[in-house]
Amino acid sequence: MENDNIEYISEWPISSTGSHENDTQSLSQLSSGVGSFLWRRVNSFAKKKADPPKKMNLSQKREEAFEEEPMANVSLSRWWRTTGKTLLSGEQELPNSVNPNTLIRFIARSGPGTEYIQSEIRRLRCKIQAGERRPDVYAALSSFYEKMGNLSLAITHLEGAIEKYPDNSEYKWTMAKLKRMYSVRAAQEKVLVKLNINSCSNRDGVLEFPTAKQVKRVHIEDLSYEDFFYKFALTSTPVVITGLAAKMTAVPWTMQHIKEKAGDCAVTVKKMIPASVEWARLEDAKRITVGEYIDIILSDERSEKTYLFDWSLPLNCPQLAEEITIPKYFAGDFLQRTSAGSLYKDSWPSLFIAPAGLTSELHVDAFASNFWMALFQGRKRWVFFDPVDLPLLYPRYEHSFDPVFDVDLSCPDLEQYPLLRNVQPRECILEPGDVLFVPAGCPHRVENLDTSLAISGNFVDLSNFSRVKDELQINSLLDPRARHLLDQFLVEGFRCNMSSDITDMKWEDYTGAVHANYEHYEITPETVKDYLSKLK
Ligand SMILES: O=C(O)CCC(=O)C(=O)O
Ligand SMILES: [Fe+2]
C-alpha cells in the first residue's frame, strides 16, 4: 500500500519541529529534540573508532574495519524503505502523519515489522556469541528488545554497552529511560495483584470509569499566597482561581486584539493525530499567520481543526507579553532568576487558540514544571490525575521522557486497560475569567468545549524544585541548554527562598526578578521540608 508519508521515514529524521519559527523552546518541541538521537547512528563511538591511531598493526586494523550496528529506529526505517513497505500491503493504513516517531511506532508494531525485529534480535545475538562484543552491538540489541517490550533484556544489554563505553551519554540517557519504564511496570504489577473488579462495576455489573472529583474553585480574594503555596502547590492539588484572568492584561484580550497586535506573525499550528506518539498527540500541521488563523477560527468553515498551541509570546510577539501581569501565585518563578538566554526563561507566557472540539490528549508537562492557564474566551474541560496514578494510565516512554499514554480517555476501555479502574480523576470546566493551576507531574487531558483563547506558563518554585533538578539531570545528558540551566540551579547560593508577601508582577518586574533581595524571604527549602514531613 502506498502512502506519501512513508518518504518521511528517512535514516535521518525529517524533524517534526524543523519548521519551527524561532526556537520557542516549547515543551513539545523540547521533547522531540531530546529524543532525536535515537534516530541517529550512535556515532560518537563510531567517531572515536574512525579516528585511528597513526600506526596500526594488522589486528588493530581488522578491529577498526567494522560497520557500526544501527539502533532499532534507524534499522527499521532502512528496512521499511527497502523491503517493509512492500510487505505491509493489505494491512492497516499508515497513520496520517509525517512524524517519523509516530510512523516508526506503527511499523514496529505491524506484523512484518515485528518479524523483522525478531530476526534482528537473532542476528545480533549470533554476532555477540561469535565474539563481536562491541558496545554498538549490545546497544542495538538492547534497542530491539525495547521495541519488543522486553525491558529486562533491554536493560541487561545496554548495561553491556555501558560497561564497554561508560562515557557515552546517549547510552546513559536510554538507560535512565528504560529504568523509568521498568519502575512503571513494577508499580503496575503491584496494583494488578490487588485489583478489585467489583469496586468499579455498577449495579448491573458493568465496569465504569471512576467518577471524577470536582477541582476546587476559589475566588482570588479568598486565596492568599500562603494558602496557595501550602495547600495546593505543595500537596500537588489542582485549583481554579476565579476572578483573576481579567486582572492579568492591560486591556481585555479578545481575538480582535490578538489579531491587531500579532496578526502578521507566522506560527506553526498543530493538529491532533490519534496515533501520534508526540506530546499530547499534537503534531505540526502548517505554517500560517496569526491573523489568517484567527479568521479561519472565527469563520464557519473549518475543514481541518488546527490548534495555535503554546506559542511563546516573549519570543514571538513581545508587545503582547508586555501587556501581561503575572499573578503572585506564579510570580516567584525560579526560571526568572537565571541568566539571560537560559533555557525556558523566555518561553512563557504562551498563547493558545483552539476551535471547539479539539483536544490536547493525556500528557504530563515536561521537566516536572508547574503550570498555569488563564482563560479569556470559551470553556475548556480538564481531567487530571494525581502523579501517583501515572502507572495506572499506561504510560510509555518512546523517544523522550514525556510519556505517551495508550489509553483513550474519550472512551476508556476498562477491559483492555484494567488498571484504569483504580485511578482517581479530578475534573473541572474552566470558564472565561478563570485561572487554573496544574501541579508538576499531574497527567491531564484538555478538551476545548468552545472556541477558546488562553495564555499559560510553566514555572519552577520550591514546590517542584528538586523534581525539576532531577529531570534536568537526565535531559542534560543530551541537551547542553538543560545542563546550563541545571548548573545555575545547583550553584551554592542559588537564590531559592520565597516570600509570602509576594505581589502580582508586571511583565518587566517579573522578568527583572533576578535583582530581588532574597535573603529576607521566609519560605526556605527547610520550611518546605518541615511542612512536607508533617503532612506524611
Ligand atoms: O489547553 C490545552 O489544550 C492544554 C494545555 C496544556 O496542558 C499544556 O500546554 O501543557
Ligand atoms: Fe499540559
In a domain, 141, yes or no: yes
Q: Residue ranges of the alpha helices (H) in 359-478?
A: 465-475
pLDDT for 43 beyond 90: no
Nearest atom in ligand 1 to 359's CA: 3
In a domain, 111, yes or no: yes
pLDDT in tens, 79-129: 999 998 888 766 578 888 999 999 999 999 999 999 999 999 999 999 999
Q: Are the C-beta atoms of 381 and 357 separated by less than 8 Å?
A: no
Bridge partners, 218 (sequence order):
241
Q: Are the C-beta atoms of 528 and 463 separated by less than 8 Å?
A: yes
Cell representation of residue 91: 494491512
Instruction: Specify whether 271 is located in the same domain as 417.
Output: yes
CATH number of 121's domain:
1.25.40.10
What integer pLDDT is reported at residue 519 of this predicted model? 73
CATH number of 441's domain:
2.60.120.650
Instruction: Specify whether 303 is located in the same domain as 420.
Output: yes
Instruction: Specify whether 139 is located in the same domain as 249.
Output: no
Q: Are the C-beta atoms of 28 and 279 separated by less than 8 Å?
A: yes
What's the per-residue H, E or C state across 274-293? CCCCCHHHEEEEEEEEHHHH
pLDDT in tens, 390-437: 999 999 999 999 999 989 999 999 999 999 999 999 999 999 999 999
Domain final position from 184, 203, 225:
184
Confidence category of residue 199, pLDDT binned at 50, 70, 90: low
Only one residue has cell 512503571, namely 184
Instruction: Specify whether 91 is located in the same domain as 129.
Output: yes
Instruction: Specify whether 137 is located in the same domain as 239.
Output: no
Is the CB of residue 446 below 6 angstroms from any atom belonging to ligand 1?
Answer: yes
Closest-approaching ligand to the CA atom of 378 = 1
Cell representation of residue 279: 506530546
In a domain, 195, yes or no: no
pLDDT in tens, 360-375: 999 999 999 999 999 9
Instruction: Specify whether 293 is located in the same domain as 220.
Output: yes
Ligand 1 pocket test, pick from 31, 444, 453 with the greatest ligand atom count within 8 Å of Cβ, gives 444
**How many whole angstroms from 240 Cα to the centroid of ligand 2?**
15
In a domain, 208, yes or no: no
Is the CB of residue 402 below 6 angstroms from any atom belonging to ligand 1?
Answer: no
Give the Cα separation of 230 and 226 in Å (integer): 6
What integer pLDDT is reported at residue 393 of this predicted model? 97
Length of the chain: 536
Q: Are the C-beta atoms of 265 and 86 separated by less than 8 Å?
A: no
Phi, psi (rounded to 5 degrees) for 242:
-90, 155
Cell representation of residue 517: 533581595
Bridge partners, 452 (sequence order):
354
What integer pLDDT is reported at residue 261 of this predicted model? 98
Instruction: Specify whether 64 is located in the same domain as 149.
Output: yes
Phi, psi (rounded to 5 degrees) for 377:
-145, 145
pLDDT in tens, 296-314: 999 866 667 999 999 999 9
Instruction: Specify whether 217 is located in the same domain as 88.
Output: no
What integer pLDDT is reported at residue 514 of this predicted model? 61
Helix (H, G, I), strand (E, B) or coil at 96: coil
Cell representation of residue 395: 504510560
Mean pLDDT taken over the chain: 87
Only one residue has cell 508587545, namely 319
Angle in degrees, 0-180, between the axes of helices 100-109 and 72-79, rounded to the nearest 10: 80
What integer pLDDT is reported at residue 406 of this predicted model? 87
pTM of the model: 0.89
Q: Residue ranges of the alpha helices (H) in 383-492?
A: 465-475, 480-490
Q: How many CA atoms lie within 13 A of 90 on its CB side?
A: 4
Mean pLDDT of 264-289: 95
Spell out a b/e string for 397-416, using b for 16 or more CB atoms within 10 Å of the CB, else e: bbbbbbbbbebebeebebee
Instruction: Specify whether 178 is located in the same domain as 226.
Output: no
Is the CB of residue 310 below 6 angstroms from any atom belonging to ligand 1?
Answer: yes
Domain containing residue 428: 213-535
In a domain, 340, yes or no: yes
Q: Domain tally for the chain?
A: 2
Query: Which of 16-20, 419-423, 435-439, 447-451 is predicted with the least confidence, judged by mean pLDDT?
Result: 16-20
What integer pLDDT is reported at residue 22 of this predicted model? 33
Mean pLDDT of 163-191: 97
Nearest atom in ligand 1 to 350's CA: 9
Q: How far apart are the first and last CA of the chain?
A: 57
Instruction: Specify whether 128 is located in the same domain as 232.
Output: no
Closest-approaching ligand to the CA atom of 282 = 1
In a domain, 199, yes or no: no
Domain final position from 184, 205, 230:
184
Helix (H, G, I), strand (E, B) or coil at 309: strand
Confidence category of residue 4, pLDDT binned at 50, 70, 90: very low
In a domain, 249, yes or no: yes
Instruction: Specify whether 330 is located in the same domain as 447.
Output: yes
Instruction: Specify whether 365 is located in the same domain as 470.
Output: yes
pLDDT for 46 beyond 70: no
Domain final position from 135, 167, 184:
184
What integer pLDDT is reported at residue 536 of this predicted model? 79
CA 47 to chain centre: 31
Is the CB of residue 365 below 6 angstroms from any atom belonging to ligand 1?
Answer: yes
Q: Name residues whose C-beta falls within 8 Å of residue 458's C-beta, 6 or more positions apart in sequence.
A: 27, 344, 347, 348, 365, 366, 369, 370, 371
Q: Are the C-beta atoms of 372 and 352 separated by less than 8 Å?
A: no
Report in angstroms the alpha-carbon separations of 320 from 186, 260, 331, 350, 457: 47, 10, 18, 10, 14
| Ramachandran region, residue 249 (left: φ > 0; alpha: ψ -120 to 50; beta: rest) | beta
In a domain, 190, yes or no: no
